[in-house]
Structure 1
Amino acid sequence: MEIAQIIRAVGRDAIMDEMVERLTEGFRALGEGRLPPSPPRSGFVRESNGTGVLEWMPHHDPGSSATVKVVGYTPANAAASALPTIIGTISRYDDATGRLTALADAVVLTALRTGAASAVASRLLARGDSRVVGLIGTGAQAVSQLHALSRSFGIERVIVHDVDQDNADSFLIRSKFLGLDVSIAPPEAIAAEADIICTATTTEVGAGPVFGDVDTLQHVHVNAVGADLPGKTELPVALLRRALVCPDHLEQARAEGECQRLSDEEIGPDLATLVAGPGAAEAARDTPTVFDSTGFALEDHIALDVLLGFADRMGLGTPIDIEYHPRDALNPYPDEA
């Protein structure tokens, strides 16, 4: 509820703008070696409600804090449980003592930072005069993808597709706050007409690309968001091989992103490298480019910083005692036991 209070009070645009700018700063610091890298996420596959995963994503800022997100990806949630496909919690620990200092829901934060990361990549790799955005997959992630892009580009037309027609129809309502012209089209039409494409689907492992290898605009930029399992990919491999492919986290993208299918020589610089030195991005803006967005823990660490900053300024947040601290630090049992 307090996250909703923050969004209502601060405004969606202000929060998204802050997220984009803070992520840009974070990627630049990472690319310049001023921030430590995050390890790749780890977890396990679940089969109890269709195929899904439960993963943990840690980031350590030495001398300050550590952030850990535990996230569940369950494509069956919407139909079976009326829950989001991606749910999770995020926690913050003091680096000096190891104490838990903050705990927050991660559903909104994940959507915000994923959309913001695509905006950071698109600012670098897409042409500044991009006007047509295509969305393949119109779930919760699509809302924040379009919102983030709308803050950086003069979007005139949005074309969307989803294998679930109800999702596509409802997206026209869910995105109405942006005031954009949104229409539904086949995926191949989106691939052929859009300046910027965002793919955020729940396509299954080994199912193949979500659009065919059609002729795209020569300068097309794609934010590929949905590849998050070994063997799960969204884009035609031929498109990847003629594009500059930039992962967010190289090791992670090799394991479960679009980069799974590419050799080392076919993978371009990661996003942090591009933010720190944008020359390679500028040279590629008139050619196909792909941001291989698997989402990693530094993004969550920064997103939590943004949330906690707003919460502190607004006096929000509920103090709770989760940890038990015995009177004698050397005795784990209470005196009366």
Structure 2
Amino acid sequence: MDALVLTQRHVGKIVELCGRDVFADLVIDRLHRALAEKSKGVAPARAGFSRCHGDTGSIEWMPYHVPGDCMTLKTVSYTPFRTTKRQYLPVISATLTRFDDETGRLTAMCDARLLTAIRTGAASAVASRLLARPESRVLGLVGAGAQAVTQAHALSRVFPLEQILVHDIEASHAASFADRVRFLDLQVRPAGLAELVATADIICTATTVGVGEGPVLSADGLQPHAHINAVGADLVGKTELPLPLLRAALVVPDHLDQARHEGECQQLSEPEIGPRLSAVCSHPERWAPYRHRTTVFDSTGHALEDHVALDVLLQLAAETGVGERMLMEHLPDDALDPYTFAH
């Protein structure tokens, strides 16, 4: 069996043919459904290696296994530091692979840089749709990097947004954000943290703050109904939100074990942590009253999100006929002799 290979060019072509809104909507809806149905898949906490440069980066792997069906595996590198080699490269690089569970054979692989950004935005949209006020109109973004684009896009698909306030310690990032999300046709402008916190109904923090250098957001002046998607915490000791804010809020993690290790939940004791996102998706009526209180989605990146995003990509690849099939594996004529080659 040949594996379907989707390069950056193929992924871009699929988005071009189907439209970014269709792609985002499919991932949001499929992810919501998968979480609500408590998928039978198994997703252990991600593991990996810390890198050099003061342990500010990492190379990790995130598996998702559906017994009897398939296994999806993402390898991802996080490199927030800038060197000569990385001067113009994105902070996150990723590759997704899928294996047949019965044969163990590789069935698909793709570049996952865009998919990672889309599925992270989709997760925030799912959580916000359940925990934020439905009439939310002002989005605040703390951190105006690549992830902020898909956060804004996904949230615009599920809320009647009218304005986006942007804050970044790199003024040029905040200044260029309006051009990067021009396709949303929303009012976008840079703002100071105090104004952003006091005005936004929904806030997304997606920063590269260093280990031990947080928080990046103050609880002072926060609207009492504000919902926060905390996206940037992904290392031990790296957090974006102040502890008093977390203790005053309903904190909902995506993956509990992972969030306690490297998310905002690493600041909290077990009784201070709220339900998992899957529980909120399964029983939305139970948590609906919290839409009028402060809520936090602790988004560390669940492998289920990658699995769902790959499902969507493979479906659209089949519908559009985009992709390349390749025999990636060595299949000898004689299974007992690795030096024979199948023809």
Equivalent of 1:24 in 32, 55, 60: 32
* 1:273–1:316 distance in 2 versus 1, CA, 3 Å: same
Identity of aligned residues (%): 53
Structure 1 position 252 matched with structure 2 position 258: yes
What is the DSSP-based 3-state SS (H/G/I as helix, E as strand, rest coil) of the residue aligned with 2:213?
coil
Equivalent of 2:57 in 32, 52, 56: 52
Q: Is the 8 A contact 2:175 2:189 kept in 1?
A: no
Equivalent of 2:212 in 206, 209, 214: 206
Stretches of structure 2 lacking an aligned partner (at least 5 in a row): 1-8
1:298 aligns with 304
Structure 1 position 140 matched with structure 2 position 146: yes
Measured after TM superposition, the shift of residue 48 of structure 1 is 5.1
TM-score by length of 2: 0.94
Structure 1 position 62 matched with structure 2 position 70: no
2:12 aligns with 4
AA at the equivalent of 1:22? R
What is the DSSP-based 3-state SS (H/G/I as helix, E as strand, rest coil) of the residue aligned with 1:81?
coil
Q: For the residues of structure 2 that align with 1:320 and 1:283, how far apart are their CA atoms?
A: 51
1:311 aligns with 317
Q: Is the 8 A contact 2:137 2:201 kept in 1?
A: yes
Equivalent of 1:36 in 36, 41, 63: 41
2:230 aligns with 224
Q: For the residues of structure 2 that align with 1:221 and 1:335, how far apart are their CA atoms?
A: 58
AA at the equivalent of 2:162? E
Q: For the residues of structure 1 that align with 2:304 and 2:341, how far apart are their CA atoms?
A: 42
1:267 aligns with 273
Structure 1 position 76 matched with structure 2 position 71: no
Structure 1, residues 20-70: CA drift from partner, whole Å, max 9, x if none?
Answer: 00000111122xxx4233100000110159721100000001111000000
What is the DSSP-based 3-state SS (H/G/I as helix, E as strand, rest coil) of the residue aligned with 2:329?
coil
Structure 1, residues 260-285: CA drift from partner, whole Å, max 9, x if none?
Answer: 00011110000001000113320211
1:13 aligns with 21
Structure 1, residues 89-138: CA drift from partner, whole Å, max 9, x if none?
Answer: 00000011000010100100000000000000000000001111000001
Structure 1, residues 158-201: CA drift from partner, whole Å, max 9, x if none?
Answer: 10001111111111110111001001111222112100000000
Structure 1, residues 272-307: CA drift from partner, whole Å, max 9, x if none?
Answer: 010001133202111000000000111101100000
Aligned length: 333
Structure 1, residues 63-94: CA drift from partner, whole Å, max 9, x if none?
Answer: 11000000001112598331111111000000
Q: Is the 8 A contact 1:78 1:84 kept in 2?
A: no
What is the DSSP-based 3-state SS (H/G/I as helix, E as strand, rest coil) of the residue aligned with 2:29?
helix
AA at the equivalent of 2:218? G
TM-score by length of 1: 0.96
Runs of 4+ in 1 over 4 A off after TM superposition: none
* 1:101–1:118 distance in 2 versus 1, CA, 3 Å: same
Structure 1, residues 173-231: CA drift from partner, whole Å, max 9, x if none?
Answer: 10111001001111222112100000000000000210223121110000000000000
AA at the equivalent of 2:178? L
Equivalent of 2:332 in 315, 326, 329: 326
Q: Is the 8 A contact 2:56 2:211 kept in 1?
A: no
Stretches of structure 1 lacking an aligned partner (at least 5 in a row): none
Q: For the residues of structure 1 that align with 2:321 and 2:214, how far apart are their CA atoms?
A: 48
Measured after TM superposition, the shift of residue 335 of structure 1 is 7.0
Q: For the residues of structure 1 that align with 2:83 and 2:191, how far apart are their CA atoms?
A: 23
2:6 aligns with none
What is the DSSP-based 3-state SS (H/G/I as helix, E as strand, rest coil) of the residue aligned with 2:325?
coil
* 1:298–1:78 distance in 2 versus 1, CA, 3 Å: farther
AA at the equivalent of 1:62? P
AA at the equivalent of 1:190? L
Q: Is the 8 A contact 1:50 1:74 kept in 2?
A: no
Q: Considering only aligned residues, what root-mean-square deviation do their CA atoms show, in Å?
A: 1.5
